[in-house]
Structure 1
Amino acid sequence: MSKEFAKNLFNKQVMATDGTEIGTLSNVVVEIKGGNIIDMVVAPNVNLDTSRYRKADNFILIPFDSVSAIKDYIIIDKMKAKTS
């Protein structure tokens, strides 16, 4: 995947490859040493079942390596994003 500036990602909608609307990107977790994005911090849609996602307060954490595309939306593979 091409490099993306983190500032271009904020407030983008996160959607799964099956069309499920996951939520809105609120923040990212970055590895300081290498500058790589580790996780996306997403404010989930109210109808989303968040029970299988890692959580931080009212947000879900989605591994950045589950991202398959970034255009108008951030597209993720739900199977890679869930913990179980």
Structure 2
Amino acid sequence: MFARSLARKTVLLSDGTVLGTLHNINVDFRTGSLISLVVKPQNEVSGIEKVDGYYIIPFDSVKSISDYIVIDRKRLSR
């Protein structure tokens, strides 16, 4: 999947809550591994901390990517 196809995709939690839209992706350029998603908030979601006005979502909490990016909320609370 190309990174440009992810641009501005809606990010949802696994319970259906809209988190926001994908703003950026953090990558480890040495290994090519995706580290985290930077999400522009659409809603205030309890239990998820903002950094400089954005949600930083660890990539290992991504459950699926298709029309939406779905985040497994249980993995966020670890």
Q: Same fold (TM over 0.5)?
A: yes
Q: Hey, what's the Cα distance between the residues in 2 that align with 1:55 and 1:72? A: 24
Instruction: Give 1:58 deviation, angstroms.
Output: 1.0
TM-score by length of 1: 0.81
Moved more, 21-30 or 52-61: 52-61
Unaligned runs of 5+ in 2: none
Unaligned runs of 5+ in 1: none
Counterpart of 1:45, as a letter, is: Q
1:45 aligns to what? 42
Q: What number of residue pairs does the alignment pair up?
A: 78
1:5 aligns to what? 2
1:65 aligns to what? 60
Structure 1 contact 54–62 (Cα < 8 Å) conserved: no
Large movers: runs of 4+ above 4 Å: none
TM-score by length of 2: 0.87
Q: Cα RMSD over matched residues?
A: 1.6
| Percent of residue pairs bearing the same amino acid type | 41
